[in-house]
Homo-oligomer: A and B are copies of this chain.
Amino acid sequence: MTRDELAAIYRDYIGCLNRRDWPALGQFVHEEVAHNARPLGLAGYRAMLERDVREIPDLQFHIEMLISDPPRIAARLRFDCTPAGTFLSLAVNGKRVSFCENVFYEFRDGRIRRVSSVIDKAAIEAQL
């Protein structure tokens, strides 16, 4: 797979998240996906995302930076959103916050197999 092809798949994955198109998630996410070393599997990964959007109803993923190097992707994602209650153990309670996530993905068979993510919790704290 070329760099551009993998980048296109990743952009489609982000589109899938932003549409809340959970039935399509399996096109992008491997059955055996692990997130920060937790072996969630596809069902657990979907549950994590569904919880995220329950806690943050206006959650949208914006790609600020994207590096494609098959089978890996690195992305800097930006969020401008209003977590309804507690998020990352912080009492955000409906305040609008802006923060980044720097995240690496490893693909297998064209789907996300491993996610190594760090969310900028300190940036959110600074806005509360």
Contacts and interface: CB of A to CB of B under 8 A. Distances in A.
15 contacts: A65-B72, A65-B104, A65-B116, A67-B67, A67-B74, A68-B69, A74-B74, A74-B104, A76-B104, A89-B122, A100-B116, A101-B118, A102-B104, A102-B117, A118-B119
A121 interface: yes
A92 interface: no
Interface residues of A, number: 22
B76 A72 contact: no
- Give the most central of A69, A102, A121, A122: most B CB within 10 Å: A102
Given A69-B67, A74-B104, A119 B116 contact: no
A68 B104 CA distance: 13
Interface in A36-80: 65, 67-69, 72, 74, 76
A88 interface: yes
Contacts of A69: 67-69
A88 to B, nearest CB: 6
B122 A88 contact: yes
A120 B118 contact: yes
Contacts of A72: 65, 67
